Structure 1
C-alpha cells in the first residue's frame, strides 16, 4: 500500500504544470518559451537558454520536456484573461479585450521594470517584487521588442535562438513585417543578418518565404493608450 501511495505521488509530481518564467520544483528549471528553459539557482533564472528535443515541450516538471502539449508551462500569452478585460501580448505589452475573448487593437506598455501578468487586476506588476510575466521571456525579448531602434541586433538574436533559418522581425505591416532575420552557424558561432522582402511582399514564418499576403500578426492601425490612464504605475 505504501508503495502504491508513493507511486501515485510520484505521478502527481511528474504531472504538475509549472508557470511560464517561474522556477519549478522538482526540476529546478523555468520554462521561458514553449520549447526552451533555463536552470534556476536559488530561485533565480540562470543563462544560457536550453532547448527541448524536437517534438517536445517545456513543462517544468521532473521530466522537463514532454510530448504532451497539454502540459506546456508557457500558456496564456495573447489570450484574454478570465474577466475578458485584457491580454498580455509580450512580457511588457498588452491589449484590452473589451469584454470579448479576442484582444483588441487598443494596446499599451508596462512601465520600466514592470511585467504584464493576466492574473494581475492592475495588468502590470513589479518584476523586482516578484511579479511573473505571463508571456515567454525568450519570445518577448527576442521577437516582440526587436525593432530598428532596439539594442538587440540580428547577431544577438541568432545567438539566443541558436537555430538556422529565417525568422520574423516585427509586427508593423508597413515596415518590419516586410523584413526577416536569417540565422546561420559559422565556426561554432551563431550569426544573423537582416533582410527585406522585395517589392510589396511580406515575410511568412510558416513557409520562410516572402509573398503578398499580410501575416495575421501584422498591423498598422494599433492605437496606444496612456500608461497613466490605465493606472499602470
Structure 2
C-alpha cells in the first residue's frame, strides 16, 4: 500500500511540474501561444503563432495551456509563460534605483516610488535585473526575468511607468522603393547584424528609427520615436537631433 501511494504521489508531482512553465510564444494544445503571463497570440491550428494581433486576459486571470486559455491564477495552475507582476515597479529593486519595463528596457527611479524619464535599453545579450545594482546583466540559460515582457510590447512613445500592450498590427518597414515590406524583426534579421540602431529605409519623415537587439538566438527589432527635444533621427550619426536630414533613409547631405 505504501509503495502504491508513493507511485500515485509521484505521478501527481509529474503532472503539476508539467504545467508550471512552458516555452513562451509557442503554440499550446489550446491553440494559444502565451507571450507573457497575461497576453497571447492565437495559432489557428497551423502550429505557428499569428503575431498580427495580441490578445489580453481579463484582470485577475493568467494565460495558461487550459482550454479556456485565461483562468484565475492559483498555485496549482500558474501562467504558462513569464511573470509581469514587477514590471514598472521601483520597489522591485531594494534601493528603488530603477524599474524594469520589459526584459531589455528600464526606467530610472532615483529612490522614488515611480520611475521617470525616457526608457533605457540593455545592450544585446543583456537583460534588466532588479536583483542587481548594475541594471542590465548578461542573459543566461534558465534566467528568471524581473519583468518577463518582450521588449516590442512596451510603449516607447511615453515616459510614464505603465507598460502598454498594443493590439495594433506590427509596423512594417519598407526596404525598397516598390511595395516590398519587412517587419522590424525581419529587417534586423536580414541586415546590419551587430549594429543596434538603424534608419528606416526610404523614410522621409525621420522622426523614428529601428532598434535591433539579439535575443534568444535571433535578432528582434522595434520602431522607436525620437523625443520631443530632439525630434529628428540622423542615419549617419545614428542619433536623434534638432535638424531633419534631407536624403532618403534620414541621411544628411
Find the structure with the greater CA-based Rg. 2
Q: Please report the TM-score for the alignment, with normalisation by the length of structure 2.
A: 0.38
- Greater fraction of residues in helix: 1
Highest relative contact order (Cα 8 Å, sep 6+), 1 or 2? 1
